[in-house]
C-alpha cells in the first residue's frame, strides 16, 4: 500500500504532494514501482497535528481520488470522517482506512451501506494527545481485545469479515518499546483471522533506533516491513514502494524456494 499524503504537514512528506498534479504524479510513480493499493490522505495524523474540516479534507482528497480511479489498482482513503468516506466512495474509492476504527456511528453506517474494504486501526486517545503518556498493562493483549471488539461491532453493523483488515496502529499512542513488542508479537493479531495491515514507514521509532532523520529512514522502514510480512502481515503501508518491493521479492523467493531442485541439463 503506497502512501499519498495530500497535506501540507504530514510527518514524512508534508507539502510535497499538497498540489493535485504532484499528488497524482506521485501516485502514478508508486503504481509503477509496484504498489498494489494507494492510500490517499488529506489530514495529517502525526502526533499533535491540528484538525482539518471535512470540507477542506474533501477539497484535498477527492480530485486526487477521481484522477486515480481506472489506473488498475484499488484506491483507499485515509479518513475518520463519515462525510469524506461517503464522497470518496461515490468518487470510486474501494477502501476506507480509518485510524479510529469506525468509532463514529455515521462512519460505520457509511461503510456498512457500501461494499468497500475497510481497515480498523487501534489508537490510544487522539492525535493531539496520543504521545503524551501512552500506557498499557499488556500492550498486545489490550490491543487485541480492542480490535476484536471493533471487528465484532463492524460485523454487527453488517460489514462482513471478508471486507475487513485490522491494524495495531504503530505510533498511535505507543512508545518505541510498545511498537517493538507489537511488531515482534504480530502473530497474535494475524490469529484474529482477518488480514493485518502494518504501518511502520519512516516512523519515529525507526528514528530512535537508527538515529536517522525522517527522509533517511528508508532502510529501517524496509526492515520493519519485511519483519511484519514474515510475521504474517498482509498489507504494508509504505512511502518507499520500490525499496519495499525488492525486499518482499526476496522474502517471496526464499519462502517459495523449491527443495532439492532438479539440476538443469544442457
The footprint of ligand HH2 (CB under 6 A) covers 3, 5, 7, 10-12, 41, 44-46, 78, 97, 99, 119, 121, 167, 169-170, 197, 199, 237
Minimum distance of ligand HH2 from residue 3's CB (angstroms): 5
Cβ distance 82 to 107 under 8 Å?
A: yes
> From the candidates 203, 208, 217, 245, which is the catalytic residue?
203
Catalytic site residue 203?
A: yes
Catalytic site residue 237?
A: yes
Closest to ligand HH2 by CB, 177 vs 250, is 177
Grid look-up 525488492 returns: 246
> From the candidates 81, 174, 237, 245, which is the catalytic residue?
237
101 backbone φψ class: left, alpha, beta (φ>0; ψ -120 to 50): left
Closest to ligand HH2 by CB, 7 vs 131, is 7
Which residue has the closest beta carbon to ligand HH2? 199
Closest to ligand HH2 by CB, 129 vs 255, is 129
Minimum distance of ligand HH2 from residue 156's CB (angstroms): 22
Minimum distance of ligand HH2 from residue 143's CB (angstroms): 13
Closest to ligand HH2 by CB, 11 vs 146, is 11
| Spatial separation of the C-alpha atoms in residues 183 and 179, rounded to whole Å | 6
Grid look-up 512508545 returns: 175
Q: Which long-range contacts (CB under 8 A, 24 or more apart) does 215-221 make?
A: 215/12, 218/243, 219/243
| Spatial separation of the C-alpha atoms in residues 26 and 112, rounded to whole Å | 31
Minimum distance of ligand HH2 from residue 233's CB (angstroms): 11
Q: What is the DSSP string of 161-195?
A: GGGEEEE--TTSS--HHHHHHHHHTTHHHHTTSS-
The catalytic residue positions are: 203, 237
Amino acid at each position: 500500500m503506497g502512501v499519498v499524503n495530500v497535506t501540507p504537514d504530514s510527518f514524512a512528506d508534508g507539502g510535497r504532494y499538497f498540489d493535485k498534479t504532484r499528488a497524482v504524479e506521485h501516485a502514478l510513480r508508486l503504481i509503477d514501482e509496484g504498489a498494489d493499493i494507494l492510500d490517499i490522505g488529506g489530514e495529517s495524523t502525526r502526533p499533535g497535528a491540528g484538525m482539518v474540516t471535512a470540507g477542506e479534507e474533501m477539497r484535498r482528497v477527492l480530485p486526487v481520488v477521481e484522477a486515480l480511479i481506472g489506473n488498475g489498482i484499488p484506491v483507499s482513503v485515509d479518513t475518520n470522517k463519515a462525510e469524506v468516506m461517503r464522497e470518496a466512495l461515490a468518487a470510486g474509492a474501494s477502501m476506507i482506512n480509518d485510524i479510529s476504527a469506525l468509532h463514529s456511528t455515521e462512519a460505520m453506517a457509511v461503510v456498512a451501506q457500501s461494499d468497500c474494504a475497510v481497515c480498523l486501526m487501534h489508537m490510544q486517545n487522539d492525535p493531539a494527545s496520543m504521545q503524551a503518556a501512552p500506557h498499557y498493562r499488556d500492550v498486545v493483549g489490550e490491543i487485541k481485545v480492542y480490535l476484536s471488539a471493533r471487528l465484532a461491532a463492524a460485523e454487527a453493523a453488517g460489514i462482513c469479515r471478508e471486507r475487513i483488515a485490522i491494524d495495531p496502529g504503530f505510533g498511535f499512542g505507543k512508545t518505541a518499546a510498545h511498537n517493538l513488542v507489537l511488531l515482534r508479537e504480530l502473530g497474535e493479531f494475524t490469529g484474529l483471522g482477518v488480514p493485518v495491515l502494518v504501518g511502520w514507514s519512516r516512523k519515529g521509532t525507526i528514528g530512535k533506533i537508527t538515529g536517522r532523520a525522517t527522509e533517511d529512514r528508508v532502510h529501517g522502514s524496509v526492515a520493519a516491513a519485511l519483519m511484519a510480512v514474515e510475521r504474517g502481515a498482509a498489507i504494508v503501508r509504505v512511502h518507499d514502494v520500490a525499496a519495499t518491493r525488492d525486499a518482499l521479492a526476496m522474502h517471496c523467493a526464499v519462502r517459495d524456494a523449491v527443495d532439492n531442485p532438479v539440476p538443469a541439463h544442457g
